[in-house]
Structure 1
């Protein structure tokens, strides 16, 4: 895919957005049902793993999902991965305040290449990060690595931008319906601004493509948790 942002360019943009992403009312504004999915993940993970201990959050941002999870199950040993060092620092600061008795390990870089222990994690959280993957080989290799990082019985919880498989439905759901939502936040200029950086930075895949690929790399159970227009949350178990 030509002319897409490099990882360094994406890192630079998020370096400058730490404060915004530390506040749900601003950082998650363009993401449909962000707070709903955050609560859904926290409740779903804590219900599935009442004795949860080891959590990996890739593309952790300012740590919103981890803080929400800690309201349901605590303490936790949390590993945070993000391209942005300022984001990691903010996430560590915020999580430390509520994770009494737990540990926090921070790694700056690409989750596909940073040093992580195979088979260690009960749960992996991946929110608004996988859409930065590019070619099909990138997707398959990334999903295979995430599978390898989980213990048997562990699971990955994904919330992300998705495409429709049909071009006409993609125009309706993304350009028209999601576009109307973005205009309602501000105006047409804001809608166009968001569409421009999605076009530059992101390369999402259809939901069913991702569910099929999760099974292909070895996950035994996959399930859709929620979908609203071009955003979906889903889970896969090892």
Structure 2
């Protein structure tokens, strides 16, 4: 990626793009197809979250998009009395997510339209927090640290944070290999033009960090245990337990 952090898209620019891209993020079977193993990680996180906290009563979905991850979790729970808090920059995404999720729970649905960096969260409120393909929009290191600490405070003791995201690599050789694999994936999925479009979006909007660095930051934020569920090239599913 060539752009410096201060040259990346602003939250308002990101909100505007996602306001016009709701349909692409509303497929529960495929998940976000521009990401490697999207459908697999969608199911994997849902299974892990529901096995870890089968009696969860409150979910927070950060950067919820059209609500795929929360929907999958709700579908796998054996009860439907779950309160859901949905966070996203895009009001269109929030509206779609709320409509889809309303049929899966009798609990209260709360919409939080705001950048998570600027949103105050209650303490010890959530059993399960999901952050899928959203944290890579964080910029400076202190923002990552502050968000991880905020989420740790908001999670109940015994709860967990579940992340699926784009990741970087510190080692140059591994970085080159991972991004070549990603390039091949996108070309095979559609074509070279689509790959170039996705790479341009990443360069403009995203600032991913290495997986191991993030795990260290999660531990520093106070989480008692961190783990990796799955990693394939530039995409990974990982978690942190309070």
TM range (shorter): over 0.9
For residue 114 of structure 1, report the CA deviation from its aligned partner. Answer: 2.1
Distance 1:234 1:224 in 2: 4
Unaligned runs of 5+ in 2: none
Alignment of 1:147-226 (within 5 A): 147-174=152-179, 176-226=180-230
**Contact map agreement 2:53 2:159 (CA 8 A) in 1:** no
For residue 190 of structure 1, report the CA deviation from its aligned partner. Answer: 1.1
**Contact map agreement 1:20 1:26 (CA 8 A) in 2:** no
1:76 to 63, 82, 85: 82
Give the TM-score normalised by the residue count of structure 2: 0.94
Distance 2:159 2:29 in 1: 31
- Partner of 1:107, secondary structure, is strand
Give the TM-score normalised by the residue count of structure 1: 0.96
Unaligned runs of 5+ in 1: none
For residue 26 of structure 1, report the CA deviation from its aligned partner. Answer: 6.7
Structure 1 residues 118 and 96 mapped into 2: Cα distance closer, same or farther (>3 Å)?
same
Runs of 4+ in 1 over 3 A off after TM superposition: 24-27
Structure 1 residues 12 and 6 mapped into 2: Cα distance closer, same or farther (>3 Å)?
same
**Contact map agreement 2:228 2:237 (CA 8 A) in 1:** yes
Match of 1:234 in 2: 238
Within the alignment, does 1:140 sit opposite 2:152 as a pair? no
Match of 2:107 in 1: 102
Paired residues, number:
236
For residue 24 of structure 1, report the CA deviation from its aligned partner. Answer: 4.3
Within the alignment, does 1:38 sit opposite 2:38 as a pair? no
- Partner of 2:123, secondary structure, is coil
For residue 39 of structure 1, report the CA deviation from its aligned partner. Answer: 1.0
**Contact map agreement 2:32 2:38 (CA 8 A) in 1:** yes
